[in-house]
Amino acid sequence: MPKQVTRTKQQIEDLIRTEGSKAPAWWQEVQLDYPPTLNLDIPDYVPGVEWDNQRYVRAFVREIIKPNPHRWRSGIKLYHMLMIRHQNDVEKRTIAMQRLGYTFFNFEQDYLRAAFWWQQAKVTEKQPYYYAFLAECYWKLGNKPMALEAINKMQDHPPVIKLLADMGETAQALRLSETLARTAPAVGFYYAGDSCRFAGRHAEALEYYRKVVAAPYINRERDERFKKRAEENILGLIAFEMLDLKRVPDGTYKSSNMGYEAPIHVEVVVRSR
């Protein structure tokens, strides 16, 4: 794995300001593509209204754009267009910028442009998901202290826990996971299990995943998802511990597992030397 680039805070801020503000190289090649029924006066889903992917932007992006990678860049341009459309409405413009940052982050892993638009939207710890992802941008761009500074302003939000685990801050990730488990046991224990698994602490990860399976339901639909993931991870860890590659025949092996938002497909090639 290549060594991560390290940059100063000033270098990060300069990059975000100069490069993050520019259109990506593919911009002119991509056309907007959305149904004429889409309500462009609402740049995001509004709680309490019907979830209709041909009428509301966020439903359209989540259900039509996101499952189709060839449409991702069109989805990014859609939020950019909405930001310009609502330039005189601070609230709607801010929502469009927040979602623009998220689509750059989630669809393109374009951390410079994601950070630029989130900074323009002035996201803070009061928007914890966006702020946690902004912290991840700082880390990916090469400044871990900037990421930790942002993280320390927040509490036990799942993206924060995952980021801490990814950065190797396992002890802090586990503390936040245990705090989250007080009100959402299945969720908190699941993230604790992931934190241990990322750190190679497989025995502890198994114990946490088993706690997820045994946890009481607080939110049935949400908790069911985490229990299913935990059961799959238990089987995966047990299989990993028992695996002897010398006994695995040469070939290509494919599988999938549920990730945080969608299934993750994996392909592994085994070949004797």
Model pTM score: 0.81
Cα–Cα distance measured from residue 191 to residue 158, given in angstroms and rounded to the nearest whole number: 7
pLDDT single digits (tens) 43-65? 776 667 778 999 999 999 999 99
More confident residue, 252 or 70: 70
pLDDT category at 262 given cuts 50, 70, 90 is: very low
pLDDT single digits (tens) 179-198? 999 999 999 999 999 999 99
The DSSP line for 42-75 is: -SS--TTS---TTT-HHHHIIIIITT-GGGHHHH
User: Which position has the token pair 């209204």?
Assistant: 49
Share of the chain above pLDDT 70, in %: 85
Tell me how crowded residue 65 is: count the other CB atoms within 10 A of its CB.
Answer: 23
